[in-house]
A and B are shown apart, each in its own frame.
Chain A
Amino acid sequence: MTAVATTPRFKANVHEALTDVRLQGAMTFARNFAGRRAAAAERLPEFEALRDSARAIKDHTLAHLDLYLEAYERKVVESGGHVHFAEDAEAARKIVVGLCKGLGAKSVTKGKSMISEEIGLNAAIEAAGIEAVETDLGEYIIQLRHETPSHIIAPAIHVTARDVEQDFRKAHRELPPERDLSRPEQLLGEARGVLRAKFLAADAGITGANFLIAETGASVIVTNEGNGDLTQILPRAHIVIASIEKIVPTLEDAAQLLRVLARSATGQDASVYTTFSTGPRRAGDPDGPSEYHVVLLDNGRSAMLGGEFEDMLRCIRCGACMNHCPVYQAVGGHAYGWVYPGPMGAVLTPSLIGVAEGGQLPNASTFCGRCEEVCPVRIPLPKMMRHWREREFARGLSPAPQRFGLGAWAFFAARPALYRFATGLAARALHLAGRRKGRFASAPLAGGWTRYRDLAAPQGATFQSRWRAKNGAVK
């Protein structure tokens, strides 16, 4: 686990995020993703069928995960690579730091990896006296800022170009202070130059994996920048760190998933670089790493198999759920307090760090259902958030007023005649009270709602009575 999970103070985080003017400005950029994904899906008539195919591949693999892990391991060893299993974050950190020390590494470059964030790898590497350099532009920016990613594919989405300029001026002291960094391409050019030297100097390169292929023993990374490739091709060793559910059976299966991944993530038909790496450099190869290691992390995932949260293990980390989430769009990723934000984070976080720590996140949903509508592997995210809410309630972790309110609601809901009478009365009363403006700027017991927006006044009839008037009796 990363050093500080602020998930238990989720509500306070949200209030801070909603009143942070700078963050609210930056988050407007997050709104471009949805349109791009829709256009890419529109352009491919087979897209919906591919989503079904992607889901089926993941379900099949998870149901046979033990056997595919063994098959994958055999192929990696056959190609001259090494496989290391890690039960938890600490074990994984120890393995990676041990490998780096064994190489006598002074510096390591890193491709973007959410698993690295999950296990807090950079801090462990640096504690061993080794420099860890993030090379994905977004990751590099947040590393300079000593922050965590606020989005799983756009880690610095909460940062503006002006923030980046300040960060670069502070970090790149060796460059002339009068240089112009007013345009984004100048910022990119500067990062390219600074990081190029880091790539060439690194002793080991650490990447994540989007997929691990049992058929060939290959690890697959998908990037647009090419940073993951320079990370793995230049140093003496390539270390892959991936969680066990990244396995897919064959190259064909990877092709199915790749077709939905880029479209769901950035709206591209294909990411610029999709790289399959199999073992270390071979006889006659003029470049490539001499050592190839894969660290396979469990960290709570095997316990999710076979249970009500197993579907979450289908996730391919595209970020579409957060790109379409009204809650994420409003509060950004940091409010979620741990590594994984948005709807996928709300479901995964309690599984990985426990319901006591992460149990508040599943409440961060309006249940609008857009996340499930766009999920490339059709994970029923709202249903699983409901499961977590039930667990939180059953374990007595939800706050007393909420428990009292739900109890009162249940009393009425279990008595339909009384419920109709009471809601009918309330709707008429609120209609009369609010008829002048049609909305309430404040309301008793609803301060949390009216603090950020008005409460619309009911129009005088309940939903049930209007339904009956329109469609006849409720069956």
Chain B
Amino acid sequence: MSARDSVLAGVRRSLGVTGTEAPRRFEVERRLAEAPAGVVPERGQGDAGQRLATFKAEAERAQASVAEVATRAEVPAEVARFLRDANCPATVRMGADPRLAAMPWSETALEISSGPSDGHDLNAVSFAFAGIAETGTLALVSGADNPTTLNFLPDNHIVVLRRADVVADYEAAIARLRAAYGKGGAPRTLNLVAGPSRSGDIEQTLLLGAHGPRRLHIVISD
């Protein structure tokens, strides 16, 4: 008997089942198909304005900084301002996201490089898949548009988020994922990010910038 069969047989022996019972199979298939929502907190709910206000407040509570600009064309200037104020070099790395590529980076003094990070980049810009108001969390998906290494290796991570992509709760973000990847489908990596990296492992003192970014700056635009 293979280890697989032996583990499954052990589970079935303890549960007193054979694995062929139709009602059990039906119950599992139904649960996977319907994916019931459970308890959804009130906190993130409300109209677009309320959701955005909650998102900003919660993201700042998680020690991210948040800036809002009117249009996407203003994003490069905001990125340049943030890096200048933080006394960081005017270089950024980003993926192939066409929404980022369409921004007027040449109007700033920023030096742009593209592709995944090899660990030597100080600053990166990503475009978020969604923002979750409930906890001020960003959802980022892997791929050539926004390489996952950019979320973790640079010291400063700047994330652009569309106002229209701020959703109330995890369940709303999951619904968007299903719409994008199909039911049961998923990106290789989905990162939910709430604030910059931190550790409390030395005497339970909270320190920012453990292994991931020391700063997380969110730029909200159209």
User: Which A residues form the contact surface with B (CB < 8 A)?
Assistant: 26, 29-30, 32-33, 44-46, 49-50, 52-53, 57, 60, 63-71, 73, 75, 79, 83-87, 91, 135-138, 141, 154-157, 160-161, 164, 184-185, 187-189, 192, 195-196, 199-200, 214-218, 224-227, 229-230, 233-234, 244, 249-253, 255-256, 258-259, 266, 268-282, 284-288, 296, 298, 302-307
Q: Which of B3, B17, B95, B191 contacts A273 (CB 8 A)?
A: B191
With A67-B28, A224-B197 as contacts: A86 and B3 at CB distance below 8 Å = yes
Enumerate chain A residues within 8 angstroms of B115, measured Cβ to Cβ: 286
Enumerate chain B residues within 8 angstroms of A136, measured Cβ to Cβ: 201
Q: Is B108 an interface residue (CB 8 A)?
A: no
Closest B residue to A70 by beta carbon equals: B8
Q: Are A215 and B151 in contact (CB under 8 A)?
A: no
Enumerate chain B residues within 8 angstroms of A85, measured Cβ to Cβ: 2-4, 6-7
CB distance from B128 to the nearest CB of A (A): 14
Bound form: Cα–Cα A70–B32 in Å? 13
Bound form: Cα–Cα A215–B201 in Å? 34
Q: Which of A230, A234, A251, A259 contacts B35 (CB 8 A)?
A: A251
Closest A residue to B194 by beta carbon equals: A270
Enumerate chain B residues within 8 angstroms of A32, measured Cβ to Cβ: 204
Q: Are B116 and A306 in contact (CB under 8 A)?
A: no
Closest A residue to B10 by beta carbon equals: A302
With A225-B212, A229-B212 as contacts: A64 and B188 at CB distance below 8 Å = no
Q: Are B199 and A137 in contact (CB under 8 A)?
A: yes
Q: Are A65 and B11 in contact (CB under 8 A)?
A: yes
CB distance from B191 to the nearest CB of A (A): 5
Closest A residue to B178 by beta carbon equals: A251
Q: Is B153 an interface residue (CB 8 A)?
A: yes
Enumerate chain B residues within 8 angstroms of A278, measured Cβ to Cβ: 186-190
Q: Are A280 and B184 in contact (CB under 8 A)?
A: no
With A64-B27, A227-B210, A256-B39 as contacts: A29 and B32 at CB distance below 8 Å = no
Q: Are B14 and A303 in contact (CB under 8 A)?
A: yes
CB contacts under 8 Å to A, within B132-165, are 134-137, 142-144, 147-149, 151-153
Q: Are B24 and A64 in contact (CB under 8 A)?
A: yes
Q: Are A157 and B207 in contact (CB under 8 A)?
A: no
Q: Is B12 an interface residue (CB 8 A)?
A: yes
Bound form: Cα–Cα A383–B153 in Å? 47
Would you call the interface of chain B mostly helix, strand, loop, or mixed? Answer: loop
Bound form: Cα–Cα A135–B204 in Å? 17
Enumerate chain B residues within 8 angstroms of A64, measured Cβ to Cβ: 24, 27-28
Q: Are B211 and A288 in contact (CB under 8 A)?
A: no
Q: Is B52 an interface residue (CB 8 A)?
A: no
Report 14 cross-chain contacts, Cβ distance below 8 Å, ordered by A residue: A195-B211, A224-B197, A230-B152, A251-B174, A252-B36, A269-B134, A272-B195, A273-B191, A276-B190, A277-B188, A278-B187, A284-B143, A303-B14, A305-B14
Q: Are A255 and B170 in contact (CB under 8 A)?
A: yes
Closest B residue to A306 by beta carbon equals: B14
User: Which B residues form the contact surface with A (CB < 8 A)?
Assistant: 2-4, 6-8, 10-17, 19, 24-25, 27-28, 31-32, 35-43, 58, 61-62, 95, 115-116, 118-119, 134-137, 142-144, 147-149, 151-153, 169-171, 174, 177, 184-205, 207, 209-213
Closest B residue to A91 by beta carbon equals: B3
Bound form: Cα–Cα A44–B188 in Å? 32
CB distance from B51 to the nearest CB of A (A): 16
Q: Are A225 and B197 in contact (CB under 8 A)?
A: yes
Q: Which of A49, A141, A273, A282 has the most CB of B within 10 A?
A: A273
Enumerate chain B residues within 8 angstroms of A287, measured Cβ to Cβ: 116, 142, 147-149
Q: Are A30 and B204 in contact (CB under 8 A)?
A: yes
Q: Are A137 and B210 in contact (CB under 8 A)?
A: yes
Enumerate chain A residues within 8 angstroms of B193, measured Cβ to Cβ: 272-273
Bound form: Cα–Cα A250–B199 in Å? 29
Q: Are A192 and B42 in contact (CB under 8 A)?
A: no
Q: Are A271 and B3 in contact (CB under 8 A)?
A: no
Q: Are B210 and A200 in contact (CB under 8 A)?
A: no
CB distance from A402 to the nearest CB of B (A): 32
With A137-B210, A230-B211, A270-B194 as contacts: A296 and B7 at CB distance below 8 Å = yes
Bound form: Cα–Cα A154–B199 in Å? 10
Enumerate chain B residues within 8 angstroms of A60, measured Cβ to Cβ: 31
Enumerate chain B residues within 8 angstroms of A307, measured Cβ to Cβ: 14
CB distance from A174 to the nearest CB of B (A): 19
Q: Are A275 and B192 in contact (CB under 8 A)?
A: yes
CB distance from B61 to the nearest CB of A (A): 8
Bound form: Cα–Cα A75–B181 in Å? 14
CB distance from B148 to the nearest CB of A (A): 5
With A137-B210, A303-B14 as contacts: A272 and B142 at CB distance below 8 Å = no
Enumerate chain B residues within 8 angstroms of A65, measured Cβ to Cβ: 11, 15
Enumerate chain A residues within 8 angstroms of B171, measured Cβ to Cβ: 252, 255
Enumerate chain B residues within 8 angstroms of A227, measured Cβ to Cβ: 210-211
Enumerate chain A residues within 8 angstroms of B61, measured Cβ to Cβ: 269
CB distance from A294 to the nearest CB of B (A): 12
Enumerate chain B residues within 8 angstroms of A30, measured Cβ to Cβ: 204
Q: Which of A84, A216, A273 contacts B186 (CB 8 A)?
A: A216
Enumerate chain B residues within 8 angstroms of A271, measured Cβ to Cβ: 194
Q: Which of B38, B39, B144, B151 contacts A285 (CB 8 A)?
A: B144
Q: Are A226 and B35 in contact (CB under 8 A)?
A: no
Bound form: Cα–Cα A271–B198 in Å? 10
Bound form: Cα–Cα A33–B206 in Å? 12
